[in-house]
Amino acid sequence: MEDSLILVLAVFVGFSTGILLNNQVCYQGLGCFSSSSPFFSTHRLLSILPQSPTQIGTRFLLYTRLNPTASQEQPLVHDSVSGIARSNFDGRKPTKFVIHGFTHHAHRQWVQDMITELLRHEDVNVIAVDWENGAGTLYTQATANTRVVGAQTAQLILSLIANANSSALRTHVIGHSLGAHIAGYTGERVSGLSRITGLDPAEPYFQNTDVRVRLDPSDATFVDVIHTDGSSILSLGLGASQAMGHVDFYPNGGSNQPGCSKGLGNILGNTVWNAVSNLDYYAGEAALACSHMAANRFFTESINNECPFKAYPCVSAEEFAKGNCLVCPTGRCSTMGYHADKQTGRGSLYLETQASPPYCNYHYQVNITGDNGFDGTLTVGLNGNSGNSQKVAFMSKNVAIAEGHPISKLFKTTTNIGVLTGINLMYNKTDSFVLKYLYPETWQLRSTTVFSGLRQQKIRFCTSGQGVTNHQVATLAHRQGC
Ligand SMILES: [Ca+2]
């Protein structure tokens, strides 16, 4: 009698603080978490157990069009059915979860910006997952804690399905960094989860691990991933380069983003783990995590920008940068970000963005061949029936182009110019005292073509007798028969 009372007490105490047995810990309603294989492996030699739900303190904060701001957020608790019923949660509408990563919390500006854009686009329930206490520990502890947060998120989704007319088919989980792997653990526990978007999923402790440890395509019906900081952790790339979804987007090559500085690994030397652990506290996240955070900026912009972040299959980012990958085999392209689920493109896809907002580009390949050589700068602009592009420096100084040698380059503009109607070329011949005598004042054109990635259309411009005279703008028009 006494023994059984002690056992009951032990179980009670154990469930409230966690039962620790043989490298595993069990939490009431969430199950047991083991630190053994596959969570222990060559890719995670220090495998520790997650902290308790009480220590992690996860909160689920509901935002809707009726209560769109942080001051109006409504906390949801999975076993408070009456609380869910009193809230603005409407299970007939789609539900979007937004989960932050290491050292962050749900009131970070990027989370709030994403919620705002989601609600602007569509009448949905948005639930921000706040696990600040669990994320503000050492990195190894935070990685372990993600398993509990994932289980808790699944617990809430299942409660919303059972008690509030929600559906896994209408539930989309968006997670950044460690939050992307939380989304994976959530999906593992929710049968038929519609979609997971992984925003630069964390690399350390996850890349090349078992699919049960990291985000992978089995975690939801559709898993889309944006990689923005995929260089090695040894050079302080915080995101995974490994493909983890049905479709993986590699903007600007997926490693270092334009406008973000590189090479910080040199400054921080070999103390990589300390650097990662202390990233937010001491080092100034804006600089160190600039590329890592870019996935969030791109996704948030994609929600309401009419520019589609169109992405293309390609053998490498280098080939894409040459403009060689803008042809879409049927159904193989996609659009990075919020609207990726409406596209059929799968696998690894590439695109380039601007360094500052608006980030989204319309991509073109411009091919120009001259009848004589030139050396100097060339600036190109495209005209369309609904606008004109920015002017883009196409050739820089001191690059000589031989007669008949085609110049073929990727051209990017944030303006939707509509149907291409013309191209402007401005040539500034080299002013080198010696070289300028080698080239005529006018660069005679042999052929000019432009391929539009958006429209999958090649336009040939009339170049017969056309030349580009030094310091003058030449406009070529698109006419039938050229
Ligand atoms: Ca998984």
What is the secondary structure of 57-91 as a DSSP string?
A: T-EEEEEBTTB-SGGG-EEE-TT-HHHHHHSS--T
Query: Does position 19 have pLDDT exceeding 60, yes or no?
Result: no
Question: Which residues belong to the active site?
Answer: 177, 200, 292
User: What is the whole-number distance in angstroms between the Cα of residue 99 and the centre of ligand 1?
Assistant: 16
E strand or H helix at 6? helix 2-17
Name every residue whose Cβ is closer than 8 Å to that of residue 71 and which is 6 or more positions away in sequence.
none
User: What is the whole-number distance in angstroms between the Cα of residue 211 and the centre of ligand 1?
Assistant: 4
Q: What ranges make up the beta strands (E) of 100-156?
A: 125-130
Collapsing DSSP to helix, strand or coil, 228 comes out as coil
E strand or H helix at 252? none
pLDDT the model gives residue 143: 95
Asked if domains 23-351 and 362-477 share a fold, the reply is no
Structure tokens at 111: 């989370």
pLDDT the model gives residue 117: 98
Long-range contacts formed by 87-90: CB under 8 A, 24+ apart: 87/62, 88/62, 88/64, 88/125, 89/62, 89/64, 89/125, 89/160, 89/164, 89/166, 90/64, 90/125
User: What is the whole-number distance in angstroms between the Cα of residue 80 and the centre of ligand 1?
Assistant: 28
What confidence tens digit (pLDDT) does each residue in 409-440 have? 999 999 999 999 999 999 998 888 888 888 88
Write phi, then psi, for 296 (nearest 5 degrees).
Answer: -65, -40
β-pair partners for 275: none
Are 86 and 72 spatial neighbours (Cβ–Cβ below 8 Å)?
A: no
Scan for tokens 């056992």, then name that residue: 7
Tell how strand 222-226 and strand 247-251 pair up: parallel
Alpha helices in 317-370 (DSSP H): 317-321
pLDDT the model gives residue 277: 52
Query: Does position 245 have pLDDT exceeding 70, yes or no?
Result: yes
User: What is the whole-number distance in angstroms between the Cα of residue 215 and the centre of ligand 1?
Assistant: 4
| DSSP conformation class of 329 | -
What does the alpha-carbon distance between residue 188 and residue 2 come to, in Å, rounded to a whole number? 41
Are 104 and 128 spatial neighbours (Cβ–Cβ below 8 Å)?
A: no
Peptide bond into 68 cis (omega under 30): no
23-351 placed in CATH 3.40.30.10: no
Tell which residue, 122, 121, 147, 124, has the closest CA to residue 52.
Answer: 147
| DSSP conformation class of 282 | I
User: What is the whole-number distance in angstroms between the Cα of residue 244 and the centre of ligand 1?
Assistant: 9
User: What is the whole-number distance in angstroms between the Cα of residue 192 and the centre of ligand 1?
Assistant: 14
Collapsing DSSP to helix, strand or coil, 186 comes out as helix
What confidence tens digit (pLDDT) does each residue in 91-135 have? 999 999 999 999 999 999 999 999 999 999 999 999 999 999 999
Q: What is the pTM assigned to this prediction?
A: 0.91
Alpha helices in 210-304 (DSSP H): 264-268, 272-278, 285-288, 290-304
362-477 placed in CATH 2.60.60.20: yes
Locate the domains of the chain by residue range.
23-351, 362-477
pLDDT the model gives residue 10: 36
What confidence tens digit (pLDDT) does each residue in 294-327 have? 999 999 999 999 999 999 999 999 999 999 999 9
A 10 A CB-CB count for 159 gives 18
pLDDT the model gives residue 1: 36
User: What is the whole-number distance in angstroms between the Cα of residue 205 and the centre of ligand 1?
Assistant: 13
The length of the chain, given as a count of residues: 482
Name every residue whose Cβ is closer than 8 Å to that of residue 210 and which is 6 or more positions away in sequence.
37, 38, 41
What confidence tens digit (pLDDT) does each residue in 360-403 have? 999 999 999 999 888 889 999 999 999 999 999 988 776 788 88
Are 341 and 416 spatial neighbours (Cβ–Cβ below 8 Å)?
A: no
Residue type, 38: P
Query: Does position 262 have pLDDT exceeding 80, yes or no?
Result: no
Tell which residue, 207, 200, 191, 197, has the closest CA to residue 229.
Answer: 200
What is the average pLDDT across 171-186?
98
User: What is the whole-number distance in angstroms between the Cα of residue 263 and the centre of ligand 1?
Assistant: 31
